[in-house]
Amino acid sequence: MPDIELRELRLFLMLAEELHFGRTAERLGLTTSRVSQTLRTLERKLGGRRLFRRTSRVVELTEAGRALYAELTPAVTNLDQVLRTATFRARGPGVVRVGLLNAASGVDVLSRAIERFEAAHPGATVQLTTTPFADRLGPLRRREVDLVVTRLPLDQPDIVVGPVLSAADQRVVMVGRTHPLAHRVDVSVEDLADHDVRRPLGLTAEQSAAVCPARTPSGRNIRFVDAPVDDTAELLYLLARGRLVHPTVAPFAGHFKHPDVIAIPLRDLPSSTCALARLRGVRDPDRDALLTIVRELAAGASRNRRNPG
């Protein structure tokens, strides 16, 4: 029997899902050449049959590769479950702390992942805590939480991003019903230059630019105003009085409603993505077990969107 390593099998499965050497290398933290080398080693151990057909434009499974993928996937999934269960049994149930600003985005995948995690590991729990508006990453960096739900882009050297909880969230602006923009079907960034726009607090530079750029496409400055708020209720009160324009995303506007506040699509900003993030270099088997479940659910949701039939 060939001496095949589990890492070789995991690489094969990931490459079979991605069908792209570069993306597989990125996900595994390897070089593309290392992925190719590991694949060749696995093929040699399995008798020399090619598992992938690779051209300059496409990567696809061979017949042997498809057969191996079909048989190997449930076997590795079951093995992972056995190993996770053994780890939890030895260590005892753990607690995973997740910080989130609100329950508006990504909660469908996250809630299902929490249910599956706690069912698979009796005694283990997930604690949800609210992160402050003005210090969204602080609890993670102080290790008060193990994961945070965050908006992308997020490019910080000490933080690892992923997996994604929700993608393609529409950008909107929230305004009071008496605000001059309230009658509009949609608005553009150019329109915002004529009004007071709430400066988002606690965001990184890249996140702030994604929420609302500092200048319009024509070069006009956006008139940002500082409006510190401690909670969503206070923000809705200020919006209802017609004092502010609040750029945000549709899930937030749909979750936090006020009879005197409406949401208007912001047509010329790209959609937003919500993801989990963790500290780089921190090992935590409980956290990683939850992340594995989130990835599985997110991958299934992505496949369903691509193949709705």
Residues 286-309 have a mean pLDDT of 75
For residues 55-65, give the mean pLDDT.
Answer: 90
Q: Domain 92-168+273-306 is of which CATH architecture?
A: 3-Layer(aba) Sandwich (3.40)
Flag whether pLDDT at 229 surpasses 80: no
**Which residue from 218, 170, 169 is spatially nearest to 192, judged by alpha carbons?**
218
Which range is least confidently modeled, 143-152, 153-162, 210-219, 279-288?
279-288
The domain locations on the chain are 6-88, 92-168+273-306, 171-270
Decide if 92-168+273-306 and 171-270 have a common fold.
yes
Amino acid at residue number 57: R
pTM: 0.66
Q: Which two tokens stand for residue 218?
A: 């024509």
- Asked if 176 contacts 240 with a C-beta cutoff of 8 angstroms, the reply is yes
C-beta of residue 67 within 8 angstroms of C-beta of residue 77: no
- pLDDT tops 60 at residue 303: no
Looking up tokens 């939480």 gives 145
Q: Per-residue pLDDT averaged across 31-52, rounded?
A: 93
CA 59 to chain centre: 26
- Whether the per-residue pLDDT at 61 is higher than 70: the answer is yes
pLDDT at 34 over 70: yes
One-letter amino acid at 224 equals F
Confidence at residue 80, expressed as pLDDT on a 0 to 100 scale? 77
3-state secondary structure of 80: helix
Per-residue pLDDT band at 176 (split at 50, 70, 90):
very high
Q: For residues 202 and 211, what is the distance between their CA atoms, to the nearest angstrom?
A: 12
How far apart are alpha carbons 178 and 9 in whole angstroms?
Answer: 61
Domain 6-88 adopts which CATH fold?
Arc Repressor Mutant, subunit A (1.10.10)
Centroid of chain to Cα 101 = 14
Q: Which band of pLDDT confidence, cut at 50, 70 and 90, is reported for residue 140?
A: very high
User: Mind listing the pLDDT tens digit for each residue in 238-263?
Assistant: 899 887 899 999 988 988 889 999 99
Identify which of 288, 61, 10 has the alpha carbon closest to the alpha carbon of residue 160.
Answer: 288
∠ CA 309-169-97, rounded to 5°: 100
Other residues' Cβ atoms within 10 Å of the Cβ of residue 30: 16
- In this structure, what are the phi and psi dihedrals at residue 160, rounded to the nearest 5 degrees? -105, 130
- What does the block give as tokens for 200? 């988002």
Q: Which CATH architecture has domain 171-270?
A: 3-Layer(aba) Sandwich (3.40)
Say if residues 209 and 296 touch (Cβ distance below 8 Å). no
Angle at the Cα of 185 from the Cα atoms of 180 and 190, rounded to 5 degrees: 65
Distance CA 210, CA 188 (A): 14
pLDDT band at 90 (very low <50, low <70, confident <90, very high): low
